[in-house]
Amino acid sequence: MSIGSNGEHAEQVAEPQQENVFDLHPLEEILTEYQGHKGAVIPILQKIQDAYGYLPREILAQTSKKTHIPISQLYGVATFYAQFHLKRRGRHLIRVCDGTACHVSGSEKTIQAIENAFDIEPGSSSPDYKYSLEIVYCVGSCGLAPVALVDEKVFGQTKPEPFVRALKKLE
């Protein structure tokens, strides 16, 4: 109980948290493949992420329960390596370079156009989970600045409006 603005006791009602429901079949196949293998945390997490697109909390809990690997160890590995993601990501990963060459060539305008067009901020996903946006600081293609990668495809000399139009055509 807490004190309300009128000085009276007010009950706090906790909002129910909605649990995600996941198909456990892919997890079961992964764990069967690595059953009895010591030190297989990284490949297990990689396969889980491949199957689910990220490392859902519920799946990590099941993994811990079934493998007897402490959940703290799974989270420790998942948070140590940048390749792992604990939040759901969009179907299309947009990486915009904001290194020196790209920045002076106008990457910030491209980033702003993406943010505005898809209601997305760097490091997050669009509300419909179609896109995830990341800012990177060099992709090794400075001669094509400003550069963006979409699902590993390189887009060079990006201009904000045409690039956003190309993104909208993705399924």
137: CATH: 3.40.30.10
68 located within any domain? yes
Contact 49, 55 (CB under 8 A): yes
Q: Which tens digit of pLDDT belongs to each residue from 54-96?
A: 999 999 999 999 999 999 999 999 999 989 999 999 999 999 9
pLDDT value for 45: 97
How many structural domains does the chain have? Answer: 2
Answer with the one of 33, 56, 80 that is the final residue of a domain: 80
Q: State the residue range of the domain holding 72.
A: 25-80
Share of the chain above pLDDT 90, in %: 81
Do 162 and 96 have their domain in common? yes
At residue 12 the predicted structure's pLDDT band, cuts being 50, 70 and 90, is very low
Is residue 17 scored above 50 in pLDDT?
no
66 located within any domain? yes
11 located within any domain? no
At residue 19 the predicted structure's pLDDT band, cuts being 50, 70 and 90, is low
Tokens encoding 168: 């909208």
Contact 141, 102 (CB under 8 A): no
Do 113 and 152 have their domain in common? yes
Do 51 and 96 have their domain in common? no
Q: What DSSP line would sit under the chain, residue for residue? A: -EE-TTSSEEPPPPPPPPPP----HHHHHHHHHTTT-TT-HHHHHHHHHHHHSS--HHHHHHHHHHH---HHHHHHHHHHSTT--SS---SEEEEEE-SHHHHHTTHHHHHHHHHHHHT--TTEE-TTSSEEEEEES--S-GGG-S-EEETTEEE-S--HHHHHHHHHT--
Do 109 and 159 have their domain in common? yes
85 located within any domain? no
Do 158 and 102 have their domain in common? yes
Interval 5-26 mean pLDDT = 59
Q: How many Cβ atoms sit within 10 Å of the Cβ of residue 142?
A: 15
14 located within any domain? no
Q: Which tens digit of pLDDT belongs to each residue from 125-152?
A: 999 999 999 999 999 999 999 999 999 8
Do 49 and 101 have their domain in common? no
Spatial distance between the Cα atoms of 146 and 159, rounded to a whole number of angstroms: 8
To the nearest whole number, what is the mean pLDDT of the chain? 89
32 located within any domain? yes
pLDDT value for 71: 97
In the block, residue with structure tokens 């001669």: 143
